[in-house]
Chains A and B, each alone.
Chain A
Amino acid sequence: ARTAVSTNQNGQYSIAVPSKTATLVFSFIGMTSEEIVVGNRTVINMTLRSTATNLNDVVVIGYGTQKRQDVNGAISSISAKDIANVPQPSIDQLLQGKASGVTITQNSGAPGSQTSVRVRGITSLSLSNEPLYVIDGVPISGDATNKSTSGRSPALSQNNGATGVSPLSTISPNDIESIDVLKDASATAIYGARGSNGVIIITTKRGKNGTSRIAYDGYGGVQEQNRFLDMMDLKAYANLQNALADVYGTAKRGEFADPTLLGSGTDWQKEIFQTAVMQSHQLSISGGKEGTDYYISGGYLKQDGTVIGNDFDRFSLRSNVNGKVKEWFKVGANVSGSRTNQNSVLTDNTGIVYNALLSAPDNAVYNADGTFAGPLANQIGGTINPVAQAMSLTNTLLRSNFNGSVFGDLQFTKELSLRSEFNADYSWSDALTFNPTYEWGIFQNKVATLNKLMTNNTFWGWKEYLNYNKTIGKHSVTGLLGYEVNESTWGGVTSSVMNFNSNDVPTLNLGDAKTATNSEFRGSQALESFFARAIYTFNEKYSVTATVRRDRSSKFAEGNQTGYFPSFAASWKLSDENFMKFTKSFANNIKVRVGYGEVGNQGVPNYLYGSALSPSTTGLGTGFTVDKVPNPELTWETAQQTNAGIDISFLNSRIDFTFDWFNKDSKNFLFQKPLPAYLLGGSAAYSTAAVISAPYINGGNMNNKGFDFSITSRNFVRYKFRWNTSVVFSRYKNEVKSLATGIPFISANITNGFLSVPVTKTVVGGPVGEFYGYVVKDIFRTPAQLREAATQFGRPVENSSAGTWLGDIQFEDLNGDGVINEDDTRALGSPQPSFTYGITNTFSYRNFDLSIFLNGSQGGKILNALKYTTAGLASLYQNQLAESANFWTPTNSSSNIPAPKSGTDNPNLKMSDRFLESASFLRIQNVNLGYNVPSSMVKSIHLSRLKAYVSVQNLYTFTKYTGLDPEIGSTNQNVFLTNVDLGRYPIPRTITFGINAEF
């Protein structure tokens, strides 16, 4: 017979024991259990030691859990304490550098913005490479732009910028207990059709049995921009304008006649960047008693942007309750809700930062009367006042979200149980842009415009699965058999109205009804699955896992809807073998793992197998254009992944080492066929209306090979001083193995500042999205050089805008045919890093602890596309980088910067290696110094624990990159346009002070 008690708050307990031979088992989560035979003692005090290894930790594996030591697949885990007290609003941002095999880049430093998360490389050329997130059983796509559902982001943009919003920013990181990243296919196959980009399982906190506590976690701090671009001051700008006036044949401006007399002018970066405050508060109440546990929390976060006009706030609530109703029946409910509100004025890429960089230093921010100024009459091409924009334009997004799951666990026999689970996620959003009336120099708007987008999304899922657990002697069997079905529906309404009598209240009813327009979208999709898993372990030494999942999806036409996704994995605990005994002296655990699996991807829009008609308003009434070329044959993309790994614990678990090698093949990957515009039309003047979308196809094979490892080391534990180090390292190499017939390569273009340039080319044998272009040889410095050089782009050697002349870029004649043309382009480097890494050092001494987290990325290139505009030397009335002032002139003939030339399409601005820079960086991502107030002191104020800390996020970045921030990510998560810097919102430095208090 067994009896159990829990200790009280002071750790005291009493228990009646039947006899002296009884054994007391002391256990506590995270501690090594101890067993003691009672004997004659009446007082038994026990001090538990913290678990030497994390091997006994529980790992969430999808539809179940497993002890870490039994896991056969490749799974990285992150616990609450790894991410505690880091001032990041969103979970995806917190994962950076914390888990091996996961490459994370923040696509923007703007509050509430999205990230690019790559689990083991780029799997797919389809729209999204983001992993599937499963939060307490509810699947949430990481796709920030909803491309596979409604096809649109809940946010609006006034400047055609990036509109993705992080789907994870609605969740408070404080509520998270653990994060498990399923990396290899043997682990993700249980998620079948959606597992190919990896699965990240997030488990929220629950109350612990036998405790009750009230906890407050809060911090406040400031964020600041720690890097600025050196732009021209007024003198340098005046010199440039004079030079450009000659090039453009316009009159030199009188006020610039003698630039040396001028002051420094407006520093627009100073005007738009600010020191911003950030604060977060979270209160939670949790506990557990007699089979019932609860966790209730409420949180508030507010983050102002370091770019004026930007902010983000979030209210969140959560209630997780579990209860044992009968010995054979457990129920539970997790319910959470949140509301986020963000203001982003203009979105990333060609937003406020971009406009500030280009704003001329001779323009003032304000007029003498305090109103906003702007470029003067006739300054066509001058940049609109970014401060005025930030302070006057509105772009808000209000998101509300309700997420709940209820489950029942029915224990039929000791071995067999049934879990029934129902999940629902309901979210709605309200986005608004308002362009008020204004007069800023030549920019005058007398017609205010309001745009609104209201969306709502519903998800429901229902799961039934049987669990079977049986151990007979050394044989242990676990079985899982399940059924799952879910459905998503989405819809939204857009409306706009103009002509407001006042800028004060932008609501639809206050505009001129005659100008009102509206539109609607809606859609739905469904997925139904059967899945099974069996795990057999012998003697805790040999273990095999097999899973299979069958998915049927509404994404494809009938006949192509069903896919099967099998996997297999095995492990062998080598260190338990007799012949490995000799290793025991230094390695107490050695386990090898191998696995293979097939997983799918269906992250593409709906109804790609048919054509529909898109309505459009014309002067003749509603018209229709054909939307796409259908592909009824479209079906699953499959990723096959082989994984081999080893886990070793050295020196009595002082050092834990996990290494995984993988080989991932995506076959028949889903992607949109890149067709030239002459077939289906193409985007023109920033509009894609009426362009027929190219068909999606199952288009080729891609391979990712790589390895990742993590080392956790307790370097020093003595004299109350502890030093731990953990290192995670990820490397992958991406190679396109084949493309569908008729597609020799895929080229991708950027559109920026009046340019439409092909910048990347994806070819068989190369990586996805490799930069492609010309190679710069030199600047033309002498007439002889001009005479002898290859003819460039068919242009005569003459001093005109149509000719090649001194001061122009000389390109390499790569094929040696004496002319420079399209045949002289080549691959210029991949945007993908060679490896990424994170190093965390934690120190503690008495009541102090210090952690230093470094995050780095090595290799890869950035296309500094911002330089097309900030260093193009081709446009009047736009400011340029200070370094550009050193452009080539006959008297400054050693310069490597070409002379100003007319037009942004001049050959000096052709895509070439001069715009590429190294993307390597090492960032001191977080430094956190904490002080635990001694318990004797806190007890007097009824606290059980009190910790105060100071934290610096993004302290410093070591990089050679000349832009604002080397961490670029992908433009709207598009894999073909990775590391293209178009004037992105940089990540700020954040300094916070916080406390953790427990009652």
Chain B
Amino acid sequence: CVGLSSCKKDFFNRAPEDAITLDNYYQTNEQVANSTNALYSTPWFGWNTKSGWAISEMASGNGRSYSSDVVNFGNFSVTGDNFELTSAWNSLFTVVAQSNALINNLPDKVPATVDPAVVNNALGEAHLMRALAYFYLVRLWGNVPIIENSLDYVDNYQLNSNPVPDVYKFIINDLLFAEANCKKMMRSGASSAQGHVSSGSASALLAKVYLYMQDYPNALLYANKVINSGEFKLYGADVNGKTFNDLFHTSDNNNEESVIALQWAANGGYGRANAMQASFAYNSQITTTGDGWGVLGPTFDLQDMYEAGDLRRKATIMLPGDHYDDINKSGGGYTLPADANSQGTHAQVKKYVVGSPADNGGIGSSQSTGNNTYLMRYSDVYLIKAEAIVGAAQTSSNPEALAALNKVRNRAGLGNLTSIRRFYQVPNAAYNTTTNPNAPRTLTKDDILDERRREFAIEMDFWFDLTRIDGFNASSHPRAITLIKQQDRGTSDSSTPPVRYGNEYRTPTDANFLFPYPSTETAANPLLLQAPVPYNFK
């Protein structure tokens, strides 16, 4: 023979020696079932680490920061060059891309020997993840391109965005598919088997999406469907011996209240572990891993939201002198020092702060913890139900709505409301003619929104509430602007109690309710800046 090529046939066939090729996987039930694992972690990393909370907590007025990368979310001056904005876009579209890969590959690659129910369940999960990513995308940027198969556009990648109603329609389609194909589940205890989403998770998310569309009958229909199924339970209400604070412990990952949650591996390394605590923890005494930068400080406005006795306050924000048994467990707990004031508001974040590796089973490192991130919790479904019943009314004493709202309040240690009032005025307790004259004399309150804010603060949700309360796909936002205008997002001096400067009251414009596309994307595709085109549904 002349040359090796004819002697040895495979000499030039160098398939990967350290990876499974696409053609060699998805061969068994287990492989197909596990094929969705990654959709719950890595692709979401960028969103989870910083951009998610930087956008939703800072723009909504829950937190403030002078860190130069995120400060402009709090004062409504973000540009397309913002690193975290780009991170959010890139991360969410990574979720879309990996979901699409699975949706398009599975039907081709799976042999007939695999149980169709297993395949359908995996496809359902991928559809739900894609829907959820688009749900975030459409709420952040409005018109975005709908991609069902990346490969369709590889040759010609410059395309227009699609209009908001089409994106919502696409989301609903995906969720209906997920609801029909995902396994039904009945949750009990905290178990990683409950880490994957279920048909019920899709129903719950459908309720939320319909609420955003102001389709109250459907929102109520799906909320009731979830509640009546009995799949999920509330910690501290339906599950005894557990409290609201326990929801955020690593050991309580995938509990009965968890509807959709990201699944981090503490030893997965950067990109695969939860890195939120690094930004939230006041200092590295809490984390012991060199991180803990206190980048986000709860605003005075958020602090004022909690009335005495609300169990959620201490589980959400730390005030100087607060003692926590769940941090520094072996050393008798952790007390926030009196001078803790990383962002000028004399408060730090507690939610998602889980402490040292030793506090979490010995595993974890800098920017790496293993606690889940909730993308939806069961209490959301009750609050959706209440809101769907009240609908457009200004007040309501509908017993079902009250029961749903009070279920969430009771679990937080608060008493019952007897009527639900929306957008009403109360005097502002923080107003003071001499020390805080900049504060508004009256505040606008909303029983449902305020409850949602207290319940989901630091869970990347409240900003989206603000974007929707003026109507579906609205271009003018008077109510939201009213609510934001009254927020004290400023700092104070260091006396006890601190005297507020009242130096940051922000008034957004209607345009601020959507973010600019990342400049890296408009640079690659200027068509994004043109008007959207209707999506051609298949």
Chain A contact residues, CB within 8 Å of chain B: 248-251, 377-378, 380-381, 435, 438, 442-447, 449, 483, 485, 491, 496, 498-499, 512, 514-517, 520-526, 528, 530, 552-554, 558, 561, 606-607, 610-627, 629, 673-692, 694-695, 741-742, 744, 747, 749, 751, 754-758, 761, 793-796, 800-803, 821-822, 872, 874-876, 902-907, 909-910
Contact = CB atoms under 8 A, between A and B. Distances in A.
Interface string B12-56: 111111111111010000000011111111110111011100000
Nearest to A442: B283
10 nearest A-B residue pairs (beta carbon): A684-B46, A681-B94, A623-B38, A623-B37, A619-B263, A445-B290, A682-B90, A754-B69, A802-B77, A687-B271
A781 to B, nearest CB: 22
B49 A685 contact: yes
A46 to B, nearest CB: 52
A194 to B, nearest CB: 16
Interface string B75-113: 111110111111111110111111001100100000000
A528 B3 contact: yes
Contacts of A795: 77
B72 A903 contact: yes
B51 A684 contact: yes
A552 B2 CA distance: 13
A903 B41 contact: no
Contacts of A692: 94, 97-98, 101, 150
Contact of A528 (B11, B77, B339, B356): B11
Contacts of A514: 362-363
B139 interface: no
Contacts of A443: 284, 290
Given A619-B370, A625-B38, A526 B253 contact: no
A433 to B, nearest CB: 13
A380 B342 contact: yes
A606 B68 contact: no
A528 B4 contact: yes
B524 interface: yes
Interface stretch (B217-225, B428-436, B513-521): B513-521
Contact of B45 (A561, A612, A687): A687
B303 interface: no
Contacts of A685: 45-46, 49-51, 84, 87, 91, 275
Contacts of B69: 754, 903-905
A677 B76 CA distance: 24
Given A380-B67, A616-B38, A687 B154 contact: no
Nearest to B344: A250
B12 A558 contact: yes
Contact of B150 (A615, A679, A761): A679
Interface stretch (B155-163, B201-209, B379-387): B155-163
B264 interface: yes
Contact of A485 (B3, B267, B364, B503): B3
A619 B192 contact: yes
A796 B512 CA distance: 12
Nearest to A150: B18
Given A523-B17, A685-B51, A689-B42, A447 B519 contact: no
Interface residues of B, number: 135
Given A445-B284, A910-B79, 12 more contacts: A381-B66, A554-B11, A554-B14, A612-B20, A623-B39, A624-B25, A679-B150, A679-B154, A684-B90, A685-B45, A756-B87, A903-B82
Contacts of A520: 18
B97 A607 contact: no
A99 B35 CA distance: 55
B21 A612 contact: yes
Contacts of A821: 529
B501 to A, nearest CB: 8
B94 A690 contact: yes
B522 A822 contact: yes
Contacts of A910: 79, 81
A610 B66 contact: no
B236 interface: no
Contacts of B356: 446-447
A874 B67 CA distance: 9
Contacts of A614: 19
B341 interface: yes
Nearest to B81: A905
Nearest to A607: B16
Interface string B503-538: 110000101000000111111111001000000000
Interface of B: 3-5, 11-23, 25, 34-43, 45-47, 49-51, 65-72, 75-79, 81-91, 93-98, 101-102, 105, 144-145, 147, 150-151, 153-158, 192, 195-196, 253, 262-265, 267-272, 275, 283-285, 288-290, 293-295, 339-344, 356-357, 362-366, 370, 372, 490-491, 493-494, 501, 503-504, 509, 511, 518-526, 529
B27 to A, nearest CB: 12
12 contacts: A380-B65, A442-B284, A515-B267, A522-B18, A523-B18, A619-B41, A677-B90, A690-B45, A694-B154, A755-B81, A757-B81, A905-B82
A624 B126 CA distance: 13
From B3, B153, B157, residue with most partner A Cβ within 10 Å: B157
A931 B5 CA distance: 58
A756 B12 contact: no
Residue from B16, B45, B81, B493 with most neighbouring chain A CB atoms (10 Å) = B81
A675 B285 contact: no
Nearest to B45: A687
B94 to A, nearest CB: 3
A613 to B, nearest CB: 5
A454 to B, nearest CB: 15
B526 A619 contact: no
Contacts of B35: 623-624
Residue among A690, A749, A907 having the largest count of chain B Cβ atoms under 10 Å: A690
A684 B88 contact: yes
B145 A613 contact: no
Contacts of B342: 377-378, 380
Contact of B86 (A438, A498, A756): A756
A554 B154 contact: no
A676 B18 contact: no
Contacts of A673: 154
Contacts of A558: 12-13
B68 A904 contact: yes
A494 to B, nearest CB: 10
Nearest to B153: A679
A623 B32 CA distance: 11
Nearest to B52: A685
A861 B34 CA distance: 51
A447 B363 CA distance: 11
Nearest to B146: A678
Contact of A498 (B95, B144, B357, B491): B357
Given A380-B295, A526-B11, A741 B155 contact: yes
A621 B195 CA distance: 11
Contact of A684 (B87, B105, B272, B339): B87
A368 B482 CA distance: 52
Contacts of A624: 20, 25, 34-35, 37-38
Contacts of B93: 677-682
Given A620-B192, A677-B520, A904-B69, A483 B267 contact: no
Given A612-B16, A619-B253, A687 B270 contact: yes
Contacts of A742: 155-158
B17 A756 contact: no
Given A515-B357, A619-B40, A761-B523, A251 B365 contact: no
Contacts of B340: 378
